[in-house]
Structure 1
Amino acid sequence: MSDRVDHIETWVFDLDNTLYPASSNLFDQVDRRMGEFIAARFAMAPDEARLLQKKLFREHGTTLRGLMTDHGVAAADFLDFVHDIDLSVLAPQDDLVTALEALPGRKLIFTNGSERHAERVLGHIGIDHLFDGVMDIVGSDYVPKPAAAPYDALIARFAIEPARAAMVEDMARNLEVPHRLGMTTVWVAGGPDWAQPDDTAHIHHVVHDLAGWLSERARGRIT
């Protein structure tokens, strides 16, 4: 695009598989813990719990939303359990730290996870001091991306001007609403098959190396 990136005043980043590489398999721990939670809560065999987990994800956007809606599960119980994970698998990301430090503009986190999970991950990576706020699933009233309502809540909460904002995501479908709202959309490629786009009409930038791309942006070399 011509000059979209040069006008960005607010950068909105997804967390999982976006600010750390999907290859770290950190989110696999969360995914596994979801299955364990369901198996324990409903006295199911692991395979049966896995099927229910994925069914809820497909039908409701997140497993949590499905558990709350269909089964009356308390959100805090689920979030505390599934985010009790080992962060040691995340390698240092000095390049990302440097890129974010140099990147002009306000930086926010927008995640379908919990604020506590975001704080732990950001702190482990060493970039927690670089963000001005976190919008988590609780702040979204437990309505997950890609529904439109949480984006509207994000914009209202942080007084974001969409035309001067960018959304950075690993899940391509989560960029459709930001694109419609007028935000610049940045897709971090390289994740699982279900995160891939059906088409790229709503994606302005496809990025394989987020730290490198942000560094180029900070130096004014991306248009």
Structure 2
Amino acid sequence: MRKFLLLFFLICNTLVFSQVGVGTTDPHPDVMLDINGRLRIRDYNDGSDEAAKDSLVVLDGRGVVHRIATKTLLANLDKSLVRAGVSTSSGALIDISISGEKRVRFDNESFDIKSEYDNSTGIFTAAANGIYRITAQLRSSSSLLSAGEFGIAIYKNDSSRTTYSKIAEENYLNVEVGLGLVKVSPPVRSVSTLVQLAAGEEITFRSITALSLTLASSSNGNSTFMTIEQVR
């Protein structure tokens, strides 16, 4: 009788700590329940917005369920992130000799996570739908007396390149006087905005000038530059 009871308890203990496989005879050793097939949950508790801010349930490459912090998930999303400037080696790229609007090509890329910006054309093409933060700065280093408009504009172009819309602009009179070229107005124009883009839509930057001028440049492109960040 004692031998029977000992054997019975050993079997029960094994059953309690054994793995369960549904649709498989070989459950994964890291989990207690391994389901080979679609999973349906008939009853569940509704989460709250506050709960979503804290953590989410995700599947890894093996299909194993994990709970991770929301900020960790967002940090690992493949989002657009671009920074480019105008370098001293770009030569003709920084010479704006035509009045009106002219596309600015930021040739010196610091980073472009998803390879969406073409520094030979000055065009950023969104790879995914989302909301993007766009910023840009131009700094004048004109060696001529000048009094005229100087500004920068951001344009959004649709995927077919048929509709060009100005979405942000900073533009006002630029004045320099005297032999020492005393700058009456600030030499910098900067602009920043949020825009919703669909995959394939483009962002371009244009200078606005009434007279010829030259953009300030530096070896690391920190005088005249742009950044693009996908925020969601």
TM-score by length of 2: 0.20
Greater share of residues in helix: 1
More strand by share: 2
- Report the structure number with the largest CA radius of gyration: 2
